[in-house]
Amino acid sequence: MAKFLRAYGSEYIFTLTGAPHIPLIQMQNREGVRCVRARSERSAFAMTDAYARITGKPTFGMVQYGPGATYLPAYLIDAYWANSPLIALSGTTNSNTHYRYEYQEVEQTPMFPIVTKWAGDLPQPERIADVLRTVIRAVVSGAPGPGYLGIPADWFNKRLATTPELYAEDAFLRVPAVRVAPHARDLERAISLLATAKKLVLLAEGGVMLSEAWEDLIALAEALNIPVVTT
């Protein structure tokens, strides 16, 4: 996991966690990914969200399973509305004791689909790289949004049977990824409406920020002398 985050250019991981410590130690000491420790899950993911919005990069935060994870849905909803490409990582119940109802066991993953673009659990330790690539594709593509990945707590220090392929996909390093062009007929209709309208106003919304289209917006507004308002 530490090597994977470095492959995607992560500079920080934001966290409040009692465990697991292993990946965080590896990230900071061996891969140069700084662990920014917060006083609450809320503040950790406020920082994760802010950094993701500012940079457009898939940005990681991490919490402990059980109570730590159950705090997150309320904190992720604003990131979901804002199309923030953050990824929440959390431990889940130890795979050796699942359904024995040990302290802090809870079925936490079902809480996340309504506030994320992708939510699921790691199916086996060896798949950490390809599953994280899947999550990253989801959070930076189309209309971006948060992702969630749960990992059984005992898998963080488990010896792998095979070595994962640790590489980053260049097309998915930041928002916006895999842009879809509009249909030609929609463009023609928009041009026709602009050409015949008498009182034009441009309403600039979040898509301008996500697409970094502010210079194009200014050029259009100045060329046609259209006033601009923002959400």
- pLDDT values of the chain reduced to their tens digit, one per residue, 231 residues: 899 999 999 999 999 877 677 888 888 999 999 999 999 999 999 999 999 999 999 999 999 988 899 999 999 999 999 999 999 999 998 888 888 888 888 899 999 999 999 999 999 999 999 999 999 999 999 899 999 999 998 898 889 999 999 999 999 999 989 878 889 999 999 999 988 999 999 999 988 988 889 999 999 999 999 999 998
Whole-angstrom distance, CA of residue 132 vs CA of residue 144: 16
pLDDT of residue 35: 93
Can you tell me whether residue 38 is helix, strand or coil?
Answer: coil
pLDDT of residue 94: 87
Tell me the backbone φ, ψ of residue 4, rounded to 5 degrees.
-65, -45
Residue pair 50/79 in contact (Cβ under 8 Å)? The answer is no
Q: Quick one: 2-172 is in which CATH superfamily?
A: Thiamin diphosphate (ThDP)-binding fold, Pyr/PP domains (3.40.50.970)
Whole-angstrom distance, CA of residue 146 vs CA of residue 16: 18
Structure tokens at 169: 């996909």
pLDDT of residue 167: 94
Whole-angstrom distance, CA of residue 115 vs CA of residue 72: 10
pLDDT of residue 19: 66
The domain spans of the chain are 2-172, 184-230
Whole-angstrom distance, CA of residue 113 vs CA of residue 151: 16
pLDDT of residue 178: 83
Whole-angstrom distance, CA of residue 8 vs CA of residue 168: 6
Whole-angstrom distance, CA of residue 122 vs CA of residue 128: 7
